[in-house]
Each structure stands twice: as C-alpha cells, then as structure tokens.
C-alpha cells in the first residue's frame, strides 16, 4: 500500500504538468491583436529572455562549482554520497526551468489579455488568470514530480538496494542527498529573487524619475526608453522571482517534514515509511485540488467581482485539500501515540497531525488578511500615512516607518501561536506539517500571484499601443485586484518562508545530531546576535544596489533624450534594448554580494564554531529576517497605496487633495522609499532565511564536533549522552553487583 502512495506522488506531478500544457496551449491560441501590440510585447518578451539568459550565464558557473564541491564532499562520509551533486543540479535546473516557463507564459498572456480586454472583463480575467495558472501548475508540478521522483530513486538506491530498513542509517543518507535538490532550487531562487528585485526597481525608479518627473510624460509612455525595461521588470521580479521563491519554499518544506518524519520512523519503525511519505502526498493532493479550484475563478458580467472570484477558487482548493488530508492521514498513519526521537518532543496521534495541517492553513489565511489590513487603501494604517503627508515629506516617511514596524505585531503573534499550537498538536513534526499544509495549495497561490503582473503588463501594452479607454479601464480593474493580491501574496510568502525555515531549523538539529540549541551558552548567544544582524546588512546591500542601478538608468534615459531629440516627437524609436541591458547588467552585478553573504556565512560560522552556534545563528537570521521582511513589505505596500489614494483624491482635515498637490508629492517620496523595501529587500528576506537553513542542513554532517572555536558542541554533546549512558548502565551495574 505504501508503494501505491510512493508512486502516486510523481504521477500527480505529471497530472499537474499535463494540465499546465493544455492550458498553455489554450493561451497560445488566443488572438494577439494588432501589429504594434505584438511588437511591444515582443520587446518585453525579448527583454525578459535576455535577463534570464544573462542570469543563467552567471549561475551556470556557480552551479558547476557548487556541484563539484558537493560531489567531492559527498565522498567523505559514510552517510553522504556524491550523488548529492546530481540532486543539486536537478534542483537548480528544474527551478530555472520553472522560472523560464512562468516568464514565457506571462509574456504570452500579457498581450493576449490586452486583446481580450477589448471584448470583456470576463474574457480578460480568463486569459490572465489562465496564464497565472500555467505558472502555478508548472512550479508545483515540477516540484512534486522532482521531489517525488528523486525520492523513489534515492529510496531504491540507498535504502532498498542496501537491504536497509526504513528506520536505518540508509534513509538518512537518502534524505541528505535529497537535500541537494532543495539547495539547488533555493540557490536559483536567491538569484531570481534578489537579481529580479534589483532589476525591476532599477527600471521602475529610473523610468519614473526621468520620464514622469523630468520629461513630464505619462507612465508606460512609448517614448520613455526605460518603459520596456520597466515592463520586463514586472515579469522578472514578480513572476520569475516569486515563482522561484515559492518553488524553493515548497520543496524545502516537504524536505524538512520528511527529515522530521524519519525521526519518528527511526525510533521504532512505527508507521512504516508513512510519516516520511505523508508531506509528499499532501503536496500532491494540494496540486490536484488547486487545478479543481482554478475552474471556479470566473466572472459572468462586466460588473463581476474579480477579487471574490479569486477568493472562491482559493478557498475551494484549500477546503478540498483539508478534507482530503484528513482521510489520507487517517489511512496512512498508524493508530496510537507517535513520538520523535528527541528529548524535547511530545507524543502525538494522527488527529494531532491533522490538527497541524489545519493550523498551517489558518496561519496562511490570517497572514494574508493582516497584510491586507496594513496595506489596503481606505483602511486605518494607509489613512494615517495620508494624513501625515499633509505636513510634508518627513512626516510621511515617519508615518510609513511607524506603520511598517507596527505591522509586525499581529503576524508575529499569529506565527508564534502557529508554532506553539502545531507543536502542541504534533511536536516538531507538527510544525513542519503545518508548513506543508500551508504550502499544499502553492499552485493556486501562485496562479493568483502571477495573474497580477500579467494584468499590469496588459495595461502597459494597452497604454503604449494607444488603445481605446475602455480597454485600459478593464485592465485597470484587474491591475487593482493584482495590487492587493501582490501584497497578500507577499504576506503568504513570508509566512511560508518563516514556517519553512523553522521546519528546516528543526530538521537541521535532527541531522546535526546535537540535542539542544541553548542560548544560555555565550557562544550560541553570540551566534544569535550575528545571525540577527545578517538581514540588516543584506537589506542595506539590496537597497543600496537599487539606488546605484537606478542612477545608471537615469543617466542612460537622460542621454537618450538629449542625443535623440526625435524621441519626444515620436519620430525616433528610443533604444529600449540599451535600458534592458543596463538593468540586466546592474542586477547581475549587484546580486553577488548579498547572495554571497547568505551562502557563505553559515559555512564560516558552522565550521569555525560548531553545530550549536550555527543553530543559534540560524534562529537569529530567521527571527530578524521575518521581522525585517514584514516591516519592509508592509511599509512599502502602505506607502504605495497612500500615494495611489491621491489619484482619486483624499480628504485631510476637511480639505480635498489630488495628484500634484503638496501632500501628494510627499506621498511620492514615501512610495519611492518603499519601492526597494517592498520589491527588493523585503521579499529577499524569504530566500535569505531559507537558504541559510538549507545550506546548514547540507553542511551539517561535515561539521566536526571538535570545531576550532567550538565550546558548546563538545559540552552539549558530552553531557547528555554521558547522562543517558549512566542511566542505561545503572541497571547493568546493579545487576552485576547483585550477581556478585
């Protein structure tokens, strides 16, 4: 029966990919509109591909070098294998391929959505959301197929062929090798998220500063040389970046739950392989129910509620997944108490495991709702920023920073509550399973997320091609919903990254073989401090990088306006490629430093100070990264919508203010500060915290217990085993003495 579930998982992955192919073909068959629309869309598609190619050129070196090191290190220990290099490469390639698929479909769907918007809102939603669905199914399908397929291979290779039981040492090796897949996926996500974030904001800020402010031409004007780069940026950052981020979370969550599942299995072989297999099965089910959910995202008239349609689809997938999880857990897991092999875990039953799935879904939903409250137009937080815009730039900034900081409270309480209750429900396995439950409907989440930038792009194409007003109005409705889903999607992404990181953290302790991460020890506490500092330097680097890249863009646009005077009279076509090239080059150059910090710091700390200090550092990165991520995402989102509110007009102290007023100008300052916050450094925190953990998991078996400056490990591992030994020996001693 286990065999059935084992092979069911990759099969479900294939189902997802087949549906994706069908939907993709449908999108491709949709009409593309006039020649100039196709031409503009072509520029965007070419720009996006040229970014991907430039990114791949850098990544290929990184992947080769990392694979060689991993392969070599795999030969060093008994419970490691050089196969991890292959696993790593497959993870990297699949992640890159998922990004490619998403980018390809997004740059196809945008122009077709514009064309559909000529007919009706319903049709435009259908095209853009189907584009998003292709992206979601591609990412989730590849992840499920990849993890499920590789697990079968490694299970056969390491466990069955060696005649090992599922509770043996061999399963540890299989999972350690599988961690390579996750490392590969997350490494690519790093470059996609950070590079994409820098790209999109450099282009956006550059286009705005010279085009809108200096030259006084509207947004998305075809005369602006940076406008194509700006539209490419939406795809690069919001589609490929978000896709790679969630691909990484999805894979890492499944991995962490499997590692912790092994802890249950290894103890007493209780439940067979089921606790290891369960997270894979839940992911597969979530994928299938996401497909079903997408069929409910439809509106029937011009006045149909787009947001409600998206919510309907989302909730249907979630509820079906919950229901199915209940039966699967009942069927797969054994009766009676399960327990993990760690000192500090608690016994739990299969109802507890189901409770954890449920908690994960609630945490995800709450995080989205809270994020919406802090960033949506017309609500308290955004209104407070609007009021503070009336006294100038400085008070607008202070207001936004205060909102951002304040917005960390509820999400942290929800997260802490989620960790606590899922731990009560099913121990550390419960925390991981809660993350898995939350991530199960990733396909649906991504479909909703990716729909936003597609609609945004469609509006840009409508504007640039000079289409009739009602077309732009329809795409604007979609775009407005897209802005909300972008914010809530970020809430979901950071929550998933946090739970994933915690699951990975627990898995790390499992793999490293230590029994505590005791911050009462001074060196572990130092690790905590250093870890918590890393999100600050990472954010600082990312923000500064956007500033530098935007300056390059500003200079180029100024040069083109000066040297090609025909641009302004629509006589000369601006050199779009040059701007695309600048954004591409800058993002590739600037992503190296923050990326290196994320990859290298756990290695240095781990090998110098040992397992437990590294554990402290991981906790520091996670806690501080989650806080900085929420703070920056929400401050940026609130600033953005405070600015947007002025476009409709806002009332402050009885007076109305519109676009162009002094308070509006102050709100533009806030929005510009918020841009790198919400689209570069904030979302990068997800990758930072996950990557630090996954690197630690991969290096854990290689860190010796007597590391050069390690105090804690030797003590930590000395005390407990000695005590356990004493306890075990006591009866023997007594027996021996009694015999004598």
Q: Which parts of 472-531 interact with a copy of itself (CB under 8 A)?
A: 502, 505-506, 509, 515-523, 525-530
Minimum CB distance to a copy of itself, residue 367 (Å)? 14
Q: Which helix (H) or strand (E) holds 163?
A: none
Q: Which two tokens stand for residue 637?
A: 């989102």
For 634, the 3-state DSSP assignment is helix
Torsion of CA 435, 438, 444, 445, to 10 degrees: -80
Minimum CB distance to a copy of itself, residue 497 (Å)? 14
When the beta carbons of 453 and 676 are compared against a copy of itself, the nearer one is 676
For 603, the 3-state DSSP assignment is helix
Minimum CB distance to a copy of itself, residue 424 (Å)? 7
The binder of a copy of itself chosen from 218, 336, 347, 547 (CB under 8 A): 547
When the beta carbons of 312 and 558 are compared against a copy of itself, the nearer one is 558
The binder of a copy of itself chosen from 623, 638, 688, 697 (CB under 8 A): 623
State the binding string over 560-599 for a copy of itself (x if CB under 8 A, else -): ----------------------------------------
In this chain, which stretch among 159-167, 260-268, 294-302, 614-622 interacts with a copy of itself, using CB under 8 A?
A: 614-622
- Which residue in the block uniquely carries the two structure tokens 């799935």? 357
CB-CB contact of 486 with 307 (8 Å): no
Minimum CB distance to a copy of itself, residue 529 (Å)? 5
Minimum CB distance to a copy of itself, residue 186 (Å)? 21
CB-CB contact of 318 with 441 (8 Å): yes
Residue by residue, DSSP assigns 668-720 as HHHHHHHHHIIIIIHHHHHHHHHHHHHHHHHHGGGS-TT-TT-SHHHHHHHHH
627 interacts with a copy of itself by CB under 8 A: yes
Residues in 340-359 that interact with a copy of itself by CB under 8 A: 342-344, 346
Minimum CB distance to a copy of itself, residue 342 (Å)? 8
Residues in 679-718 that interact with a copy of itself by CB under 8 A: 709, 711-712, 715-716
Q: Which two tokens stand for residue 348?
A: 């739990």
d(CA 478, CA 493): 21
Alpha-carbon distances, residue 326 vs 12, 273, 322 (angstroms): 18, 18, 6
The binder of a copy of itself chosen from 532, 567, 638, 698 (CB under 8 A): 532
When the beta carbons of 289 and 639 are compared against a copy of itself, the nearer one is 639
When the beta carbons of 90 and 525 are compared against a copy of itself, the nearer one is 525
Cα angle at 226 between 686 and 35, to 5 degrees?
A: 110
- For 172, other C-beta atoms within 10 Å of its C-beta total 22
When the beta carbons of 438 and 477 are compared against a copy of itself, the nearer one is 438
Minimum CB distance to a copy of itself, residue 137 (Å)? 33
Minimum CB distance to a copy of itself, residue 684 (Å)? 13
Cα angle at 281 between 278 and 283, to 5 degrees?
A: 110
Beta bridge partners of 445: none
Residues in 663-682 that interact with a copy of itself by CB under 8 A: 668-670, 672-673, 676
d(CA 613, CA 609): 6
Q: Which helix (H) or strand (E) holds 652?
A: strand 650-652
When the beta carbons of 93 and 544 are compared against a copy of itself, the nearer one is 544
The binder of a copy of itself chosen from 56, 392, 564, 577 (CB under 8 A): 392
Please measure the distance between the N-terminal and C-terminal CA atoms of the chain and give it in whole angstroms.
52
Reference 329, options 440, 177, 211, 444; nearest CA is 440
When the beta carbons of 175 and 627 are compared against a copy of itself, the nearer one is 627
d(CA 685, CA 239): 17
Minimum CB distance to a copy of itself, residue 100 (Å)? 32
In this chain, which stretch among 226-234, 257-265, 312-320, 617-625 interacts with a copy of itself, using CB under 8 A?
A: 617-625
Residues in 295-324 that interact with a copy of itself by CB under 8 A: none
Q: Which helix (H) or strand (E) holds 370?
A: helix 350-375
Minimum CB distance to a copy of itself, residue 502 (Å)? 7
263 interacts with a copy of itself by CB under 8 A: no
Cα angle at 234 between 298 and 669, to 5 degrees?
A: 115
Minimum CB distance to a copy of itself, residue 463 (Å)? 24
Residues in 198-217 that interact with a copy of itself by CB under 8 A: 209
d(CA 123, CA 121): 5
Minimum CB distance to a copy of itself, residue 233 (Å)? 18
Q: Tell me the site size for a copy of itself, rule CB under 8 A.
A: 96
Residues in 18-77 that interact with a copy of itself by CB under 8 A: none
d(CA 315, CA 317): 5
Minimum CB distance to a copy of itself, residue 105 (Å)? 34
Residue by residue, DSSP assigns 524-562 as HHHHHHHHHHHHHHHHHHHHHHHHHHHHHHHHHHHHHHH
Reference 367, options 399, 408, 319, 312; nearest CA is 408
Q: Quote the longest CA-to-CA distance of the chain.
A: 107
In this chain, which stretch among 262-270, 482-490, 587-595, 612-620 interacts with a copy of itself, using CB under 8 A?
A: 612-620
When the beta carbons of 28 and 406 are compared against a copy of itself, the nearer one is 406
Minimum CB distance to a copy of itself, residue 330 (Å)? 25
When the beta carbons of 65 and 726 are compared against a copy of itself, the nearer one is 726
When the beta carbons of 256 and 502 are compared against a copy of itself, the nearer one is 502
The binder of a copy of itself chosen from 97, 391, 558, 585 (CB under 8 A): 391
The binder of a copy of itself chosen from 10, 16, 453, 616 (CB under 8 A): 616
d(CA 289, CA 441): 8
Residues in 150-169 that interact with a copy of itself by CB under 8 A: none
In this chain, which stretch among 107-115, 582-590, 691-699, 726-734 interacts with a copy of itself, using CB under 8 A?
A: 726-734
Minimum CB distance to a copy of itself, residue 495 (Å)? 12
Sequence-ordered list of residues with C-beta below 8 angstroms from that of 161, at least 6 positions apart, any chain: none
When the beta carbons of 25 and 723 are compared against a copy of itself, the nearer one is 723
Sequence-ordered list of residues with C-beta below 8 angstroms from that of 612, at least 6 positions apart, any chain: 514, 516, 517, 518, 521, 523, 524, 527, 710, 712, 713, 716
d(CA 571, CA 442): 47
Minimum CB distance to a copy of itself, residue 282 (Å)? 20
The binder of a copy of itself chosen from 1, 4, 656, 737 (CB under 8 A): 737
Reference 585, options 544, 553, 540, 558; nearest CA is 553
d(CA 155, CA 140): 22
CB-CB contact of 620 with 529 (8 Å): yes
State the binding string over 398-437 for a copy of itself (x if CB under 8 A, else -): xx-xxx-xx-xx--xx-xxx-xx-xxx--xx--x------
Minimum CB distance to a copy of itself, residue 532 (Å)? 5
When the beta carbons of 112 and 262 are compared against a copy of itself, the nearer one is 262
């Amino acid at each position: 029966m286990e065999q059935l579930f084992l092979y069911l998982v990759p099969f479900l992955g294939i189902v997802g990919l087949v549906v994706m192919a069908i939907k993709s073909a449908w999108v491709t068959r949709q009409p593309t509109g006039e020649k100039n629309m196709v031409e503009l869309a072509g520029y965007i598609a070419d720009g996006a591909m040229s970014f991907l190619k430039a990114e791949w050129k850098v990544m290929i070196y990184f992947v080769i070098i990392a694979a060689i090191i991993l392969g070599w290190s795999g030969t060093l220990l008994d419970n490691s294998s050089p196969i991890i290099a292959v696993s790593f490469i497959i993870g990297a390639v699949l992640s890159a391929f998922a990004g490619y698929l998403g980018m390809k479909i997004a740059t196809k769907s945008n122009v077709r959505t514009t064309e559909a918007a000529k007919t009706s809102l319903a049709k435009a939603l259908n095209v853009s959301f189907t584009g998003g669905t292709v992206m979601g199914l591609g990412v989730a399908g590849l992840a499920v197929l990849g993890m499920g397929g590789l697990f079968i291979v490694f299970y056969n290779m390491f466990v069955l062929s060696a005649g090992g039981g599922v509770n043996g040492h061999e399963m540890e090796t299989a999972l350690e090798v599988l961690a390579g897949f996750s490392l590969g996926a997350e490494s690519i996500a790093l470059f996609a998220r950070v590079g994409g974030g820098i790209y999109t904001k450099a282009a956006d800020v550059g286009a705005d500063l010279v085009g809108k402010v200096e030259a006084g031409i509207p947004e998305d004007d075809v005369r602006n040389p940076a406008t194509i780069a700006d539209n490419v940026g939406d795809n690069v950052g919001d589609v490929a970046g978000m896709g790679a981020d969630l691909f990484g979370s999805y894979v890492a969550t499944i991995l962490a739950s499997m590692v912790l599942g092994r802890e249950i299995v290894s103890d007493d072989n209780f439940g067979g392989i089921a606790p290891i297999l369960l997270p894979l099965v839940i992911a597969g089910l979530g994928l299938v129910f996401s497909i079903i959910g997408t069929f409910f995202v439809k509106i029937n008239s011009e006045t149909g509620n787009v947001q409600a349609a998206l919510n309907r689809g989302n909730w249907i997938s979630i509820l079906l997944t919950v229901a199915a999880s209940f039966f699967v857990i009942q069927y797969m897991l054994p009766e009676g108490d399960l327990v993990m092999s760690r000192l500090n875990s608690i016994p739990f039953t299969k109802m507890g495991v189901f409770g954890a799935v449920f908690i994960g879904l609630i945490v995800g939903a709450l995080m989205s709702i809270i994020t919406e409250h802090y960033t949506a137009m017309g609500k308290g937080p955004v209104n407070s920023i609007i009021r503070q815009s009336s006294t100038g730039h400085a008070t607008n900034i202070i207001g936004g920073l205060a909102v951002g900081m304040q917005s960390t409270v509820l999400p942290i309480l929800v997260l802490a509550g989620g960790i606590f209750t899922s731990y009560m429900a099913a121990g550390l396995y419960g925390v991981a399973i809660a993350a898995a439950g939350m991530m199960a409907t990733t396909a649906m989440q991504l479909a909703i997320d990716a729909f936003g930038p597609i609609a945004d792009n469609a509006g840009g194409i409508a504007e640039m091609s000079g289409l009739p007003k009602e077309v732009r109005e329809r795409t604007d409705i979609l775009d407005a919903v897209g802005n909300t889903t972008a914010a809530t999607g970020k809430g979901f992404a950071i929550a998933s990254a946090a739970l994933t990181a915690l699951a990975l953290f627990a898995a790390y302790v499992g793999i490293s073989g230590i029994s505590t991460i005791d911050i009462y020890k001074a060196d572990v506490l130092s690790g905590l401090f250093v870890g918590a500092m890393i999100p600050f330097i990472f954010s600082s680097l990312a923000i500064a990088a956007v500033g530098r890249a935007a300056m390059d863009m500003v200079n180029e646009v100024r040069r083109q306006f000066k040297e090609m005077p025909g641009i302004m009279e629509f006589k000369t076509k601006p050199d779009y490629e040059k701007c695309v090239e600048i954004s591409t080059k800058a993002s590739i150059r600037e992503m190296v430093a923050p990326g290196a910090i994320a990859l290298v710091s756990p290695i240095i700390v781990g090998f110098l100070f040992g397992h437990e200090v590294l554990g402290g550092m991981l906790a520091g990165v996670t806690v501080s990264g989650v806080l900085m991520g929420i703070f920056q995402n929400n401050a940026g989102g609130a600033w953005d919508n405070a600015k947007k509110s002025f476009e409709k007009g806002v009332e402050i102290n009885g007076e109305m203010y519109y676009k162009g007023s002094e308070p509006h100008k102050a709100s533009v300052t806030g929005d510009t500060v918020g841009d790198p916050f919400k689209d570069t450094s904030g979302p990068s925190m997800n990758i930072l915290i996950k990557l630090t953990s996954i690197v630690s998991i991969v290096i854990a078996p290689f860190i010796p217990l007597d590391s050069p400056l390690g105090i804690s490990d030797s003590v930590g591992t000395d005390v407990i085993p000695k005590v356990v030994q004493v306890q075990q020996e006591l009866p023997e001693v007594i027996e021996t003495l009694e015999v004598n």
